[in-house]
Amino acid sequence: MTENRWTRGYTQTELDDAQSRFGLRFPPDLVALLRDRRPVAGHDWNDSSAIRRMLDWPLEGLFDVEHNALWWPEWGEKPDRPEAREEVLRAVLARAPKLIPLISHRYLPEQPHEAGNPVFSVYQADVIHYGVNLDDYFDREFLGWNGRPWPDRIRYIPFWSDLVARNRA
pLDDT tens-place string over residues 53-89: 999 998 887 776 666 667 888 999 989 888 898 899 8
- Which pLDDT score, from 0 to 100, does residue 169 have? 66
pLDDT at res. 3 = 55
pLDDT of residue 1: 44
How many Cα atoms are found within 13 Å in the side-chain-facing hemisphere of 138?
A: 19
Residue 154 backbone class (left: φ over 0; alpha: ψ -120 to 50; beta: rest):
beta
Q: Which residues pair with 119 in a beta bridge?
A: 131
CA–CA distance, 128 with 157 (Å, rounded to integer)? 12
Which pLDDT value is given to residue 40? Answer: 93
| Number of CB atoms found within 10 A of residue 42's CB | 20
Q: What is the pLDDT of residue 72?
A: 86
Under-70 pLDDT residues of the chain? 1-3, 64-69, 169
* pLDDT computed for residue 85 by the predictor: 87
- Distance between CA 16 and CA 28 in Å, rounded? 12
The identity of residue 49, as a single letter, is S
pLDDT value of residue 117? 98
